[in-house]
Structure 1
Amino acid sequence: MSAPDDDPDAIPSQAELDELDLEELASTSAESDLAYPIRDQPIGPPPPALARDTWAFWWISAAAGIASAVYLLVNVVSVSDSLQRRLMDDIKKAIDEAARTNQKPLTMPADEYHGLAHFLPPAMVVTILVLLAVQFLLLRAVTAHHSRNARNIFLAMVLLNLVCIPTGMDLLRFADNAPAMFAVGWVQFGALLLSALCILRPSVGQWLPVNPRVGMGKLMRPGG
């Protein structure tokens, strides 16, 4: 392109404007290619760490979770009654402790004990089934649709589930009231944790698409 006129009031020609637009488009395209690199090779099938190991451990965890849900559903009355007794015992202990230390105790009407104790077990059943359904759909999206975002959400759901399992077992006192379900709960916990570790393997990360934010970070590093 010829040098523009030194006169600041000179109006550039249409050809000069078009050439400037082409240069800007070429520069933008080059930056986009660096930030969002395209693989030269086809995606290929998912690695065994995802297609086999992650799914195998997740199915073990799902089976244990379904077993826990069935147990709660079948024994919902006895579990609720046991939970109600525990809540009342805990409140009585809190009242006695408050009286011993001359503090004002927290009180709760008896019908609230009953309502909370009979609400939590069915809510746990629903939570177990919802988490399993969401995890299945996300894991399927990772495998079938090659989605890194789905993997990240799956890991978040796994973390939430890992928090819920020991909390629920402790709340319902499975260790004392249902030792078999206590073991099933820890099987679910361990299998789900192994499933998350498998999907975090390097082979899975290399198979999934590059995160655009990682590409931008590389560009911002010196010499990147």
Structure 2
Amino acid sequence: MSPRGRRPGGEDTRAAIIAAARTEFAQRGYDGTSLRAVAREAGVDPKLVHHYFDGKSELFVEVMAFPANPAVLVERVAAAPRDQLGETLARVFLAAWDGPEGRERFAAMFAAAAAHEEHARMVREFVGCEVLHRVVEAMRTEVGVEPRPSESLEVRVALGAAQLIGMGLLRYVVKVPAVADASVEELVAILGPSLQHHLVPPAPG
């Protein structure tokens, strides 16, 4: 048998990187996985991982079959006017998941998270690092949102995310008719003000 060498570039290499990443994420979680470890597991030069994927978050998005890169979605939300953040967040979320393929991926992701702790840990760490943290930083720097001293912006953003994910579970997984059959505009109109309250703390008094 010939010794195992590093793979050259190509579709087989990309597939090997994805397979290796799936193993690493499952064993070590999102936080504990490095691109160098993925390259070692795949038997490729670390530069090839960077050639195919622009960072760990993009690789995770591919492994989990997300319909869009959350980092890009966060940028769209942060670019919205301050008084339209809630509406924009609801619309961006629905735009990412509401197509037939997105609905299937959402349901599959949360079904796996409910059934396997390692899968739940991957999603939990990814959402914490790449979604909630990015939203919080965007709120502070680009939008200039500052909560009252007794409040936490991290808690506000997490509660907003919980509301969106809960809606997604009712719409795509449990398929409660009132939510599953509602139009995007109807949901945006209802969720927008509530998300706005979470993201933009009311002025004192």
Q: TM-score, normalised by structure 2?
A: 0.27
Higher relative contact order (CA 8 A, sep 6+): 1
Q: TM-score, normalised by structure 1?
A: 0.25
